[in-house]
Structure 1
Amino acid sequence: MARRLSPVGLDFIETAALRHVFAREVSAPPEAVYHALVDDLAGWPAWFTAVTRCLPTDDGKGREVRLKGGTRFRETILAADGQGRYAYRVDVTNAPGPRALVEEWRLTPVGTGTRVQWTFAADGTPPFRLVLKLSRAGLGRAFRDAVTALDRRLMAAAA
Structure 2
Amino acid sequence: MTRRLRPVGLGFLDDAPLRLVFTARVRAAPDTVYRALAEEVTGWPDWFRAVTLARPTRGGAGREVRLTGGVGFQETIMAADPGRRYAYRVDETNAPGMRALLEEWLLAPARDSPGTLVRWTFAADGPAAFRLALTAARPALGHSFRTAVRTLDGRLAARSRG
TM-score by length of 1: 0.98
CA apart distance, 1:97: 0.3
Amino acid at match of 2:90: V
Deviates most, 72-81 or 25-34: 25-34
Aligned-residue offset at 1:125: 1.5
Distance 1:37 1:84 in 2: 11
Q: What does the per-residue CA deviation read over 1:2-52, in whole Å, with 9 as the maximum and x for residues that have no partner?
A: 110011000000000000000011111111100000000110000000000
Which runs of 4 or more aligned residues in structure 1 lie more than 2 Å from their structure 2 counterparts after TM superposition?
none
How far is the alpha carbon of 1:131 from its aligned partner?
0.8
Q: 5+ residue gaps in structure 1? A: none
In 1, the alpha carbon distance for the partners of 2:97 and 2:13 equals 18
1:104 aligns with 2:104: yes
Unaligned runs of 5+ in 2: none
* Aligned position for 1:155: 157
Deviation per CA, 1:77-114, whole angstroms, max 9, x where unpaired?
00001141000000000000010000000000114200
Residues 119-155 of structure 1 deviation map (CA, whole Å, 9 limit, x = unaligned):
0000001221111010000000000000000000000
- Give the SS at the match of 1:76: strand
CA distance in 2, matches of 1:112, 1:77: 28
1:56 is matched with 56
Contact 2:23 2:119 in 1 (8 A): yes
Number of equivalenced pairs: 159
1:23 equivalent to 2:23? Answer yes
Provide closer, same or farther for how the CA distance between residues 4 and 96 of structure 1 changes in structure 2, counting only shifts above 3 A: same
After TM superposition, the structure 1 = structure 2 runs for residues 1-159 of structure 1, keeping only pairs within 5 Å, are 1-110=1-110, 111-159=113-161
Cα RMSD after superposing both structures? 0.7
